[in-house]
């Protein structure tokens, strides 16, 4: 698979080069030079998730990896189901939260981890990541125990939930959790500083695992095919994607370009409306994010929008014609969680946003699917008052709470980080 930078169409890379680099050298994002269009989609729909995913990945990456390696990657990364659960006569939830950290980021992070472990060629690698909570959990869990890769998670001490902290700070082994005496912005600044330190990058084989990594997006295309495979009937499918950095929607649009039978996408956001406002007005105005209930979508400058922009060649009218969109306030999100719960489906705030915006955009004769991106128990404190009941903790999370923390404190200081890593 040949990839190009969104900013310079002559800056190419192989998949593995792009995975290791993260960003293109010109600061752009890697996108496929061309996506194949599958002519045998009805046959693909008949396979199970792992078999179909192996086949699709082989068509994309077969020039770089033997089929057996791809099959092993897919089978070891995607060890959990993505069930399509009926919510009412017209709408279903694609539940993407059955992985180890109970959020859809497990799909991308587990695939990326295995690709990076493959590519180490005996040399050690260090994945350095800053987290405000969920990304650290997905990355730590995905890499834990993989040979040849050391993971370092920087997080703001005292500013993540106890459950989130347990998810990345109790692993031990190849996962080092550093509790930074500062804010999330300090953590990001330290990570950025480390990547600007050529000596450190070379010495440690420093790699990023953030959400702009192409491996994460390719893995995410696979569950859109799965959604279509599980949907019964002939009605055109409309898929609502709860969006923050817009990686998930990018993956959906790529899946559609490859032939996944999806009629339309809905870009759903919370009060962070940069993209809906752009689609409404044609003016793209990033701005500071505001905090909401669906906090993984609190993004004021969506990093993957550049990829969607590139897919439509920057044509606002084409984007506005192809997409549907909308946003939802915290009050509406909470009301939707309660309403769905009374009807027998418990959604998390991110899924609830996607459901609400989908409902407003679904037309007669269509079948709607919203992506349920996180397990509702991850938001049990926030949701309990409105629901009037406690959400039980899944056993895997409950067990975590009793595990000892293996974190180390770190001053918010570049030299201190360098000393700790060297």
Ligand X SMILES: *Cc1c(COP(=O)(O)O)cnc(C)c1O
How far apart are alpha carbons 352 and 335 in whole angstroms? Answer: 9
* Residue 270 makes contact with ligand X by CB under 6 A: no
Q: Which is closer to ligand X, CB of 164 or CB of 248? A: 248
Q: Which of 44, 60, 103, 311 binds ligand X (CB under 6 A)?
A: 103
Min dist CB 370 to ligand X, Å, is 11
Output the smallest distance, CB 350 to ligand X, in A: 4
Q: Decide: is 247 part of the binding site for ligand X (CB under 6 A).
A: yes
Dihedral of alpha carbons 184, 248, 5, 290, sign = negative
Q: With beta carbons less than 8 A apart as the criterion, state whether 138 and 168 touch.
A: no
Q: Where are the beta strands (DSSP E) in 139-271?
A: 149-156, 175-181, 206-207, 237-242, 264-269
Q: Which is nearer to ligand X, 65 or 370 (CB)?
A: 370
Whichever of 32 and 244 has its CB closer to ligand X, that residue is: 244
Residues near ligand X (CB under 6 A), total: 16
Task: Mark the segment that binds ligand X (CB under 6 A) among 123-131, 241-249, 258-266, 316-324.
Answer: 241-249
Q: Per-residue x/- mask for ligand X, residues 362 to 381, rule CB under 6 A?
A: -----------xx-------
Question: Which span sits near ligand X by CB under 6 A: 27-35, 192-200, 237-245, 397-405?
Answer: 237-245
Q: Does 155 bind ligand X (CB under 6 A)?
A: no
Choose which of 54, 92, 167, 245 interacts with ligand X (CB under 6 A): 245
Distance CA 241, CA 350 (A): 9
Question: Considering beta carbons, is residue 56 or 138 the nearer one to ligand X?
Answer: 138
> Per rule CB under 6 A, is residue 336 in the interface with ligand X?
no
- The whole-angstrom separation of Cα 337 and Cα 347 is 6
List beta partners, residue 84: 94
**DSSP state, 405?**
P
User: Which residue among 224, 246, 254, 278 contacts ligand X (CB under 6 A)?
Assistant: 246
Q: Which stretch binds ligand X (CB under 6 A): 48-56, 189-197, 244-252, 359-367?
A: 244-252
97 vs 12: CA distance, rounded Å: 34
**Does 28 help bind ligand X (rule: CB under 6 A)?**
no
What is the C-alpha to C-alpha distance for residues 113 and 305, in angstroms, rounded to an integer? 24
**Minimum distance from CB of 291 to ligand X (Å)?**
15
- Burial pattern 299-328, b for ≥16 Cβ within 10 A else e, equals beebbbbbbbbbbbeeeeeebbeebbbbbb
Q: Are 91 and 359 in contact (CB under 8 A)?
A: yes
255 lies in the binding site for ligand X (CB under 6 A): no
Under the criterion CB under 6 A, does residue 276 sit at the interface with ligand X?
Answer: no
Q: Which stretch binds ligand X (CB under 6 A): 157-165, 169-177, 239-247, 255-263?
A: 239-247
Nearer to ligand X, 141 or 245 (CB): 245
Instruction: Give how far Cα 263 sits from Cα of 12, 94, 369, 374, Å.
Output: 31, 16, 11, 24
CB of 225 within 8 A of CB of 256?
no
Strands laid side by side in the 206-207 sheet: 206-207, 125-130, 149-156, 175-181, 408-411
Residue 263 beta carbon to ligand X: minimum distance, rounded to whole angstroms: 21
Counting contacts by CB under 6 A, is residue 350 touching ligand X? Answer: yes
- Return the residue of 134, 226, 306, 341 that touches ligand X, per CB under 6 A: 134
Smallest gap from residue 245 Cβ to ligand X (A) = 3
Binding of residue 242 to ligand X (CB under 6 A): yes
46 CB burial (10 A radius; 0-12, 13-18, 19+): exposed
Give which of 66, 84, 74 is closest to 50, Cα–Cα.
74
- Within residues 202-231, the interface with ligand X by CB under 6 A covers 211
**Residues contacting residue 412 through CB under 8 Å, at least 6 positions apart:** 180, 181, 182, 186, 187, 189, 190
Which of positions 111-130 make contact with ligand X (CB under 6 A)? Answer: none
The answer to whether residue 306 forms part of the interface with ligand X (CB under 6 A) is no
In the structure encoding, which two tokens stand for residue 273, read together?
A: 């409306």
Question: With respect to ligand X, which residue has the nearer C-beta, 53 or 243?
Answer: 243
The beta strand positions in 141-271, using DSSP E, are 149-156, 175-181, 206-207, 237-242, 264-269
136 or 247: whose CB is closer to ligand X?
247
Q: Which chain residues interact with ligand X by CB under 6 A?
A: 103, 105, 134, 211, 242-248, 296-297, 350, 373-374
């Amino acid at each position: 698979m040949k990839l190009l930078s969104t900013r310079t169409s002559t800056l190419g890379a192989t998949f593995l080069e792009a995975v290791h680099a993260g960003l293109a050298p010109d600061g752009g994002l890697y996108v496929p030079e061309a996506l194949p269009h599958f002519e045998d989609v009805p046959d693909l729909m008949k396979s199970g998730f792992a078999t179909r995913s192996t086949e699709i990945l082989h068509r994309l990456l077969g020039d770089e990896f033997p089929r057996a390696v791809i099959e092993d990657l897919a089978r070891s990364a995607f060890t959990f189901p993505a069930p399509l659960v009926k919510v009412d006569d017209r709408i279903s939830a694609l539940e993407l939260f059955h992985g180890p950290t109970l959020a859809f980021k497990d799909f991308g992070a587990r695939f990326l981890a295995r690709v990076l472990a493959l590519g180490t060629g005996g040399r050690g690698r260090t994945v350095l990541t800053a987290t405000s909570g969920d990304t650290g959990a997905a990355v730590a869990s995905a890499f834990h125990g993989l040979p040849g890769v050391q993971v370092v998670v920087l997080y703001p001490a005292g500013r993540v939930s106890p459950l989130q902290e347990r998810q990345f700070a109790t692993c031990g082994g190849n996962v080092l959790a550093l509790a930074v005496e500062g804010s999330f912005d300090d953590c990001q600044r330290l990570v950025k500083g480390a990547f600007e330190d050529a000596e450190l990058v070379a010495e440690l084989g420093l790699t990023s695992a953030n959400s702009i990594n192409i491996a994460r997006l390719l893995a995410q295309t696979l569950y859109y095919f799965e959604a279509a495979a599980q949907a019964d009937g002939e009605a055109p499918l409309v898929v609502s994607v709860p969006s923050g950095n817009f990686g998930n929607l990018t993956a959906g649009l790529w899946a559609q370009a490859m032939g996944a039978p999806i009629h339309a996408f809905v870009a759903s956001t919370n009060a962070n409306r940069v993209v809906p406002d752009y689609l409404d007005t044609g003016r793209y105005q990033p701005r500071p994010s505001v905090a909401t209930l669906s906090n993984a979508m609190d993004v004021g400058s969506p990093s993957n929008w550049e990829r969607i922009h590139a897919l439509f060649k920057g044509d606002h009218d084409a984007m506005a014609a192809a997409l549907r969109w909308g946003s939802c306030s915290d009050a509406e999100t909470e009301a939707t969680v309660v309403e769905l719960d009374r009807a027998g489906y418990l959604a998390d705030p991110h899924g609830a946003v996607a459901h609400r915006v989908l409902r407003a955009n679904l037309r007669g004769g269509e079948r709607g699917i919203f992506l349920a991106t996180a397990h509702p128990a991850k938001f049990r404190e926030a949701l309990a008052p409105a629901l009037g009941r406690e959400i039980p903790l899944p056993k895997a999370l409950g067990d975590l709470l009793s595990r000892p923390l293996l974190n180390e404190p770190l001053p918010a200081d570049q030299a201190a980080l360098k000393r700790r890593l060297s």
